[in-house]
């Protein structure tokens, strides 16, 4: 994999933060509560390095994650996974559930999952969308899907080709009285390194 | 006498972009940079800038210091400090939050040349 320069990684984090800035508006609407979003760490690694990233940035004693997965297709093509520690995911979907008043409803579990899927969709489209704009790309998104897993299985094995790179982000959700952290992973073929570099350098040159 | 400006932003790229915009506006300029909140407070005390640009998206985890604390530190050092907050978040509440912390102006990232020109005209 082509190594990314520090400035390129920094540019990608700024691009993602700009996407998250826009996403915060939609996230606040979804949850009916004010939230700020930011990416506090970004790295690009092989899929095998993901576990280490999660361990380094994850919540202590948290081993189970709620994951929203979504494929995206354009010149930029890959799969996005929004992963929240199970306990944080519950806090998060509690707000959604509270808002739509379905606590105790027979479909409550499904609706909680829907809340996480919708948040994953918001994050994925905001971040990938911002990158795509910079390189005049148009990206389409498949409907997201939900699953729960251990941190070592956030990327399902059957999706790993051995020729992947993962843009890994720690995302902070800042509410008025608390902060919860999760992850956004964008897995792409290594052949897209030049495209990510193009995105980063287009941004740098625009400043 | 040069205009002293402090930029507090953990992104090298963002600091670079802002420096370019400022250099186009001011001939006699002394720029200082800080990559996190605690360094920003140290530089603020050393330099006593005329204007400070502060990024609101610096990590809240990982030990770079909470933003409210940074703003409080700046205001304590100089109650009349001119601080421009920078954020990509367009929510009205985020703007209100930044102003409540003491920012005199909030700009959306990345700021345009026009944004910077307006900030300098209004705050210097």
Residue A60 in this model has a pLDDT that exceeds 80: no
Q: How far is B34 from chain A (nearest CA, A)?
A: 15
Q: How far is A45 from chain B (nearest CA, A)?
A: 20
The partner residue sitting opposite A40, judged by closest CB among B59, B108, B109, is: B59
Q: Provide mean pLDDT across the span A179-205.
A: 93
CB contact under 8 A, A7 and B13: yes
Q: Is residue A142 classed exposed, middle or buried when 0-12, 13-18 and 19+ CB atoms within 10 A define those classes?
A: exposed
The Cα–Cα gap between A205 and A110 comes to 45
A10-30 residue pLDDT tens: 999 999 999 999 899 999 988
Q: How far is A175 from chain B (nearest CA, A)?
A: 11
A36 contacts on B by Cβ (under 8 Å): 56, 89, 91, 94
Residue A189 in this model has a pLDDT that exceeds 90: yes
Residue A6 in this model has a pLDDT that exceeds 80: yes
* Maximum C-alpha span of chain B: 39
Residue A34 in this model has a pLDDT that exceeds 80: yes
Residue A127 in this model has a pLDDT that exceeds 80: yes
Residue of B nearest to A38 (CA): B57
B112 contacts on A by Cβ (under 8 Å): none
The Cα–Cα gap between B92 and A140 comes to 30
The partner residue sitting opposite A24, judged by closest CB among B11, B17, B89, is: B89
Residue B33 in this model has a pLDDT that exceeds 90: yes
Residue A130 in this model has a pLDDT that exceeds 90: yes
Residue of A nearest to B21 (CA): A207
Q: Which residue has the higher pLDDT, A127 or B67?
A: A127
A72-112 residue pLDDT tens: 999 999 999 999 988 777 777 777 666 666 666 677 778 77
- Give yes or no for a contact between B53 and B8, defined as CB atoms under 8 angstroms apart: yes
Ramachandran angles phi, psi of A78, nearest 5°: 175, -155
Query: What is the DSSP annotation of chain A?
Result: -PPPPHHHHHHHHHHHHHHHHHHHHHHHHHHTS--EEEEEEEEEE-GGGHHHHHHHHS-TT--EEEEEEEEEESSS-EEEEEEEEHHHHHHHHHHHHHHHT-TT-TTHHHHHHHHHHHHHHHHHHHHHHHHHHHTT---EEPPPEEEEEEGGGSS-GGG--SSEEEEEEEEEEE-SS-EEEEEEEEEEEGGGHHHHHHHHHHHHHH-
CB contact under 8 A, A41 and B14: no
ipTM of the complex: 0.86
Q: Which residue has the higher pLDDT, A116 or B62?
A: A116
The Cα–Cα gap between A72 and A161 comes to 17
B51 band by pLDDT with thresholds 50, 70 and 90: very high
Per-residue confidence (pLDDT) for residue B65, from 0 to 100: 47
Q: How far is B13 from chain A (nearest CA, A)?
A: 6
Q: What is the DSSP letter of B36?
A: S
Residue B64 in this model has a pLDDT that exceeds 50: no
Q: Which of A60, A62, A52, A75 is nearest to A155 (CA)?
A: A52
Helix (H) or strand (E) holding B46: helix B37-47
- Give yes or no for a contact between A81 and A68, defined as CB atoms under 8 angstroms apart: yes
B62 band by pLDDT with thresholds 50, 70 and 90: very low
Residue A48 in this model has a pLDDT that exceeds 50: yes
CB contact under 8 A, B60 and A174: yes
Work out the mean pLDDT of chain B and round it to a whole number. 91
Per-residue confidence (pLDDT) for residue A135, from 0 to 100: 93
B36 contacts on A by Cβ (under 8 Å): none
Residue B63 in this model has a pLDDT that exceeds 60: no
Per-residue confidence (pLDDT) for residue A136, from 0 to 100: 93
The answer to whether B57 faces chain A, any CB pair under 8 Å, is: yes
């Amino acid at each position: 994999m082509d190594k990314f320069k520090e400035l390129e990684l920094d540019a990608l984090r700024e691009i993602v933060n700009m996407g998250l800035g826009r996403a915060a508006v939609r996230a606040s609407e979804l949850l009916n509560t004010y939230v700020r979003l930011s990416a506090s760490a970004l790295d690009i690694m092989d899929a095998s390095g993901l576990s280490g990233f999660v361990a380094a940035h994850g919540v202590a004693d948290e081993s189970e994650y709620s994951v929203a997965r979504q494929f995206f297709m354009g010149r930029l093509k890959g799969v996005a996974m929004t992963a929240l520690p199970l306990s944080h995911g519950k806090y998060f979907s509690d707000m959604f559930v509270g808002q739509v008043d379905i606590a105790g409803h027979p479909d409550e579990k499904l609706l909680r999952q829907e809340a996480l899927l919708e948040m994953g969709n918001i994050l994925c489209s905001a971040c990938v969308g911002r990158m795509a704009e910079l390189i005049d790309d148009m990206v389409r998104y498949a409907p997201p899907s939900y699953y729960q897993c251990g941190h070592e299985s956030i990327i399902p094995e059957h999706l790993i080709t051995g020729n992947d790179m993962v843009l890994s982000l720690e995302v902070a959700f800042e509410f008025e009285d608390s902060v919860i952290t999760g992850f956004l992973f964008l897995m792409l073929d290594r052949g897209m390194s030049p495209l990510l570099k193009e995105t980063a350098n287009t941004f740098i040159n625009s400043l | 006498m040069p205009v002293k400006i402090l930029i507090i932003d953990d992104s090298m790229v963002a600091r670079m972009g802002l420096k370019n915009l400022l250099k186009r506006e001011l001939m006699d300029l002394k720029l200082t940079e800080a990559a996190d909140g605690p360094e920003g407070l140290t530089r603020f005390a050393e330099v006593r800038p005329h204007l400070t640009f502060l990024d609101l998206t610096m990590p809240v985890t990982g030990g770079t210091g909470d933003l409210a604390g940074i703003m409080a530190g700046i205001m304590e050092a100089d109650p009349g400090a001119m601080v421009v907050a920078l954020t990509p978040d367009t929510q009205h509440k985020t703007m209100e939050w930044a102003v409540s912390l003491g920012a005199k102006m909030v700009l959306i990232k990345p700021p345009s040349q026009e944004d910077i020109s307006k900030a300098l005209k209004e705050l210097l």
